[in-house]
Amino acid sequence: MRAASVRRRGLISAMLNRRSIRYFSSAPVGEEVARLIIEAGQRAPCVYQSYSVIRLKDPQVRRKVVEIIGDDPPLRAPLLLLVCLDVRRTSRMFSLMTERHVLRTERHPVETVEMLVEMAMFMENMVIAAEALALGSVVLDYPLRAPEEFSRALDLPEKVIPLFLMCVGQPAESPPLRPRMPLRFVYHVDRYRDPTEEELQGYLTEADEAHNSEGYLRKYGNLDVKYREYMSQKVSQSKAQEEEASEVQRFFRASGLIL
């Protein structure tokens, strides 16, 4: 099999050309398609299947999300899914198997990582399934940053932890492919190799230029700032970041999400 010809075909081509889509047409996504996407998500590798997804359909329910985070175009997607880490159901299942199980303890880093990884794989399968149906999608991390507000607004029971929104619909934009690190940063054979500082700087410059020439922040954030400056602010330590981190950590701990 020749890799060059495979790149142009079917699933691999869909994966190599996928971009996040944040503007959608108003074409509805029916319940059958929604169920198909979620079922494809469930076929991802799994350990405990510790996830639940809530379709936000009712305009009143959607309004609650906008009240928490403000308006953002992807929130108008015809299929809006709240992806939750379901420590609640997982813990109940464990209780049926054994009285003294790990999720009742304060220390279960392995299970925590496994639950998060399988949830990520569930989401990625849904992303690919959407592509296969000629739909676009984007993952948003608003719930992760304000889990308590989402939990209250959507009346979630204890230990069902809202982490991501997935917006799906027919694309109403065709953005360019976004930059990725060179394969040599990510793929190592036999021995790990650190990229040099010049290589890292080179990639940061490339990513900055690509986002600026797309007009990424202007288009999606209405921001008049260079991408690299924006990212640098985003990852800077600050009082606001520390406060958010403590609140999120407290909520996670109380929900059984402990690393």
Ligand X SMILES: Cc1cc2nc3c(=O)[nH]c(=O)nc-3n(C[C@H](O)[C@H](O)[C@H](O)COP(=O)(O)O)c2cc1C
Which residue among 178, 188, 193, 218 contacts ligand X (CB under 6 A)?
178
* 244 is a site residue for ligand X (CB under 6 A): no
75 lies in the site for ligand X, by CB under 6 A: no
Q: How much of the chain is helix, strand and coil, in % rounded to 5? A: 55, 10, 35
Interatomic CA distance for residues 61 and 153, integer angstroms: 8
Q: Is 130 in the site for ligand X (CB under 6 A)?
A: no
List residues bridging with 60 in a β-sheet: none
Number of Cα atoms under 13 Å in the Cβ half of residue 127: 22
Q: Does residue 138 bind ligand X (CB under 6 A)?
A: yes
| DSSP per-residue string spanning 171-197 | BS--PPPPP---HHHH--SSS--PPPH
Beta carbon nearer to ligand X, 101 or 209: 209
At its nearest, how many Å lie between ligand X and the CB of residue 123? 8
In the complex, residue closest to ligand X by CB: 20
Which of residues 20, 49, 170, 212 is near ligand X by CB under 6 A?
20
Q: Which is nearer to ligand X, 138 or 168 (CB)?
A: 138
H/E stretch holding 89 reads: helix 87-97
Task: Work out the burial of residue 210: count CB atoms within 10 Å of its CB; fewer than 13 is exposed, 13-18 middle, 19 or more buried.
Answer: middle
List Cα–Cα distances, 15 to 7, 18, 112, 131, 132, in angstroms.
9, 5, 28, 8, 9
Q: Determine, following the binding rule CB under 6 A, whether residue 19 of this chain makes contact with ligand X.
A: yes
Q: Cβ 5 to ligand X, closest distance in Å?
A: 24
The number of residues that bind ligand X (CB under 6 A) is 8
Among 75, 80, 135, 139, binds ligand X (CB under 6 A): 139
CB neighbour class for 130 (10 Å; exposed up to 12, middle 13-18, buried from 19): buried
Q: Closest Cα partner for 252 from 164, 160, 166?
A: 160
Q: Does 85 bind ligand X (CB under 6 A)?
A: no
Q: What are phi and psi of 53, to 5 degrees?
A: -130, 135
Contact mark string toward ligand X, 195..224, x via CB under 6 A: -------------------------x----
- Cβ distance to ligand X smaller for residue 84 or 138: 138
Q: Kindly compute the dihedral angle of the four CA atoms of residues 34, 37, 42, 44, in this order, to the nearest 10 degrees.
A: -160
Residue range at the interface with ligand X (CB under 6 A); choices 77-85, 90-98, 137-145, 234-242: 137-145
Taking contact as CB under 6 A, which single stretch among the options 28-36, 85-93, 96-104, 136-144 is the one that binds ligand X? Answer: 136-144
| Segment interacting with ligand X (CB under 6 A) among 36-44, 53-61, 96-104, 134-142 | 134-142
| Closest to ligand X by CB, 101 or 175 | 175
Query: Which residues are near ligand X by CB under 6 A?
Result: 19-20, 138-141, 178, 220
